[in-house]
Amino acid sequence: MQLERRLVKAVHGVRSVVPDAPFELGLSDHLRAHHDADGLAALYGRFVHGESAFDGLMRRAIWRARCRRFGHGVAIEPGAAFLHPETLQIGDGVFVGRGVYIQGRFDGTCSIGDHVWIGPGSYFDARHLVLEDYVGWGPGARALGSTHTGVPAAAPIIQTDLLIRPVTVRRGADIGTGAVLLPGITVGENALVGAGAVVTHDVPAMAVVAGTPARVLSWREPAA
């Protein structure tokens, strides 16, 4: 029997954020006061893959203790991990899916806005990354924020200097499953990047892009 298409209401993007309980905020303060970065990392290893509500609470508490800023109503799914979380700013109502990896840098900056949804298995080279409010990030999509210069050409590429370029996704944009954003890319407000696209140039606001390399296919409203 052929199944009919269904239209269901959005959930994550319209959910109200309930402030986290005072005891949870106090737990993070306690962890920050009594554990150094290595100690918190070791503690996180005890809860990173747990499925219980308590495991989720501890993941949030440890992230909050480590991050530069950590909002209310954040969900951290099992297997989510980070490097240099002290550089991360995470807003309210953020969802971080299973197996997400956010790779910061000690002198970098990573800002994730309010109500951002990050799908399972995503990867972020978050040395200079901005995801504005209400960004949707499809499962397995990747943001690459750096590349080796390859100079001098006679040297192994991995031995050459690293060029870090910012990646910015503006408010309301949606990044499709398995898409790749290359260093230096800006995706405009409310733009849509198709599944599997490789984005090599900036994406205008309201554009729909897809392909390898990505190109504009249409507009979500008539272009100005």
pTM over 0.75, yes/no? yes
**pLDDT greater than 80 at residue 123:** yes
Note the Cα 159 to chain centre separation in Å: 28
Residue 221: per-residue pLDDT: 81
- pLDDT tier at 3, thresholds 50, 70, 90: confident
Domain boundaries, the chain: 21-66, 72-219
Identify the residue whose tokens are 């993007």.
13
Q: Please give the class, per CATH, of domain 72-219.
A: mainly beta
Distance between CA atoms of 136 and 191, rounded to whole angstroms? 11
Residue 163 tokens read as 């060029």
**pLDDT greater than 90 at residue 5:** no
pLDDT in tens, 129-170: 999 999 999 999 999 999 999 999 999 999 999 999 999 999
* pLDDT (average), residues 183-203: 98
